[in-house]
Homo-oligomer: A and B are copies of this chain.
């Protein structure tokens, strides 16, 4: 076999494999928070793949416990995905150190406590403690544009310029009429956050909801996460709650550094 033939064969194989991974992710990606169980027809429609393909892939995924199929023949995401997800180190090592401190903050403030990390230009909630009287629109594993939330802004404020630039270049979509949507306003807010050591989110991610967030640093003093407390806007006094969140964030930062994380 000539070298070009080998390359062509390899390219074809790579294309084939990539297609398989894409198809697997298209099937898994068909499920979301409001659609947890799907029949074959709807699974095909959402995955954008033909019935025979989805039937075959779903069968393999069931065999590997990445999907389960109930008595009515509906598919759902399987426990093995949860088990793999729990091993993701950004989540696991951070959560194990953070949870006791988050419990203390919850007990002291009776607010909903969030821990989030930056992933690209969004934040992802890794741990949430505490119910609230109103829906604040957050859930573990939930993803939100970093500029539009308290935890996201506080992480951006202490991130390298390139990270902030990436967020600006991707645009600043509005989640509510109060979301910061211009470059100048965001840059000014980030400067303010650095000067007071915490960020405020006044109905910027969810109407009726506000939040106070403080930065969490790890090994090398690098920004690792944002810690926040959230509640109905009338119940949140930043002057009162800021010191509590900042204290917990300092404690968590020191615990991470002590653990070499």
Which A residues have a C-beta under 8 Å from some C-beta of B? Answer: 14, 16-18, 20-22, 24-25, 28, 31-33, 36-37, 56-57, 60-61, 64-65, 76-79, 81-93, 95-96, 99-100, 103, 106-107, 117, 119, 124, 126, 129-131, 139-143
In the complex, 12 of the A-B residue pairs with CB atoms within 8 angstroms, ordered by the A residue number, are A14-B56, A16-B16, A25-B64, A36-B87, A77-B89, A81-B87, A82-B88, A82-B90, A82-B91, A83-B124, A87-B141, A92-B139
Pairwise interchain contact A37-B89, C-beta atoms closer than 8 A: yes
A141 touches B17 (CB 8 A): no
Copies in the complex: 2
Question: Do B57 and A17 touch across chains, with their CB atoms under 8 A apart?
Answer: yes
Residues of B within 8 A of A141 (CB): 82-83, 85-87
B21 and A60 form a contact (CB under 8 A): yes
Q: Is the CB of B83 within 8 A of A79?
A: no
The complex places the Cα of A244 from the Cα of B68 at a distance, in Å, of: 34
Q: How far is it, in angstroms, between the C-alpha of A33 and the C-alpha of B88 when the chains are bound?
A: 9
A119 near B79: Cβ-Cβ < 8 Å: yes
Partner among B31, B61, B126 whose Cβ is within 8 Å of the Cβ of A87: B31
Given A16-B16, A17-B57, A126:B82 Cβ within 8 A:
yes
